[in-house]
Amino acid sequence: MSKVLYEKDIQKEVLQEKKIAVVGYGSQGHAHAQNLRDSGYDVVVGLRPGKSKEKAEEDGFEVLSVAEAVSVADVVMVLLPDELQPSVYYESIQANLKSGSAIAFAHGFNIHFTQVVPPLDVDVFLVAPKGPGHLVRRTYEEGAGVPALYGVYQDVTGNAKELALAYSVGIGAARAGVLETTFQEETETDLFGEQAVLCGGVTSLIKAGFETLTEAGYQPEVAYFECLHEMKLIVDLLYEGGLENMRYSISDTAQWGDFVSGPRVINAETKERMKEILADVQSGEFAKGWILENQANRPKFNATNAKENQHPIEKVGRELRELMPFVKQPLQKKQKDVKVHVTN
Ligand SMILES: NC(=O)C1=CN([C@@H]2O[C@H](COP(=O)(O)OP(=O)(O)OC[C@H]3O[C@@H](n4cnc5c(N)ncnc54)[C@H](OP(=O)(O)O)[C@@H]3O)[C@@H](O)[C@H]2O)C=CC1
Ligand SMILES: CC[C@](O)(C(C)=O)C(=O)O
Ligand SMILES: [Mg+2]
Ligand SMILES: [Mg+2]
């Protein structure tokens, strides 16, 4: 088994006297900045004027321009959207990185696909939480954490791995466990996972189930509960104890249906499609398409986002969730508006 490290295995002092610039204050940025500060580290936030800047200031951070924050930092964590990182890096980060400092990422995309080429006199590392930023913060406040992968791309000080590990303690990840990786492995598995399983796979499965039921004349409310709301309850059991635990809790009728019908939905053909998706990730084909989509100002992204937000499952879901105040709000409120990203 790969070695999973926890807080007790890690020396935290290496980061103690250092100033950490968290660049970006979105999903990951707000969580890293707040968790690091609550862990006793010295944090400054790097941002442009705008909503995130106001939020970070409200939360009590010193907020500087990206260039200023980088110039005073010993460790720079880049938590900008992946597609914007190259332009911000070349405009505001590269020239201000101190020799012997470190630049870090929560996802290896831009280093692995060479959209950002760091100078040779800085450490380059990765601490990639395996969960959404809002949960990185929420679990930290609850005394737990989200597991993370760490990896080193460039080690000029001889301390890059220790820095990455101490950073993972600072954001709470080492409470849940951290595992060593490479930029290549993190990038390829993260992209594959979010496309084929966690985001693309799950949303397509939910929609196909909902559409099948409603097209057959069943009530949308019933279809919503069956295919989306209950997903969380089932996933909680999977999360807590794997497939066996979920199957222990459900009825034997459901378990028999799981065995005979699951493989009719997700079958050898689906796995072939998954292999194609992985091949596109590995070859850089997916990355190329995403970079070009951004250079063209996101026509397909924005049109698809607008269409998806109008799906009947979204309409009925919004109405039903209004009646369930116990359903936590923040993540739903983060529903993405159609955004225009200009990359160059
Ligand atoms: N979302 C997640 O949970 C996960 C994300 N990651 C990785 O973390 C990184 C950050 O992603 P995520 O947290 O989702 O990003 P978000 O889109 O949530 O946040 C991006 C932040 O960057 C700021 N920003 C955008 N453009 C600029 C600019 N030109 N100058 C300064 N600040 C700018 C935004 O501020 P403003 O309000 O001004 O636009 C915002 O605060 C990515 O590498 C991603 O792959 C890794 C694991 C999970
Ligand atoms: C699953 C999506 C993710 O990879 C994540 C939250 O880990 C992301 O890029 O947001
Ligand atoms: Mg991920
Ligand atoms: Mg990801």
Please give the DSSP secondary-structure letter assigned to residue 8: G
Atom of ligand 1 nearest to the CA of 51: 37
CA triplet 170, 171, 173: central angle to 5 degrees? 105
Lowest-confidence pick of 136-140, 285-289, 324-328: 324-328
CA distances from 276 to 15, 205, 285, 318 (A): 41, 18, 11, 34
Q: Annotated catalytic residue: which of 30, 107, 112, 134?
A: 107
Q: In 116-250, where does DSSP find H-type helix?
A: 133-141, 160-170, 173-176, 183-192, 200-215, 220-224, 230-249
| Residue 63: closest CA among 50, 78, 80, 74 | 50
Ion ligand 3 contact residues with beta carbon within 5 A: 190
User: pLDDT, tens digit, for every residue of 183-232?
Assistant: 999 999 999 999 999 999 999 999 999 999 999 999 999 999 999 999 99
Q: Note the pLDDT of residue 329.
A: 65
pLDDT at 1: 79
Residue 198 CA: nearest ligand 2 atom is 1
Q: Which of 28, 187, 194 to mutate to test the pocket of ligand 2 (most atoms within 8 A of CB)?
A: 194
* Ligand 1 pocket mutation, candidates 32, 34, 47, criterion most atoms within 8 A of CB: 47
CB of 128 sitting under 6 A from ligand 1: yes
> Which pLDDT score, from 0 to 100, does residue 328 have?
72
- The closest of 279, 343, 301, 287 to 108, measured between CA atoms, is 287
User: Distance of alpha carbon 224 from its chain centroid, rounded?
Assistant: 26
Q: Write down the pLDDT at residue 226.
A: 98
Neighbours of 272 (CB within 10 A): 10
User: How far away, in angstroms, is 174 Cα from ligand 3 center?
Assistant: 17
| Angle separating helix axes 200-215 and 312-322, nearest 10 degrees | 90
Q: What is the mean pLDDT of residues 13-37?
A: 97
Say whether 107 is catalytic.
yes
pLDDT > 60? residue 340: no
Residues of the chain with pLDDT > 70, as a percent, come to 95
Outline where DSSP puts E strands in the chain: 4-5, 19-23, 42-46, 63-64, 75-78, 102-105, 123-129, 148-154, 178-180
Ligand 3 midpoint to CA 253 (Å) = 34
Mean pLDDT value across residues 44-71:
98
Res. 342 pLDDT band, cuts 50 70 90 = very low
For residues 144 and 150, give the distance between their C-alpha atoms in angstroms, rounded to a whole number: 18
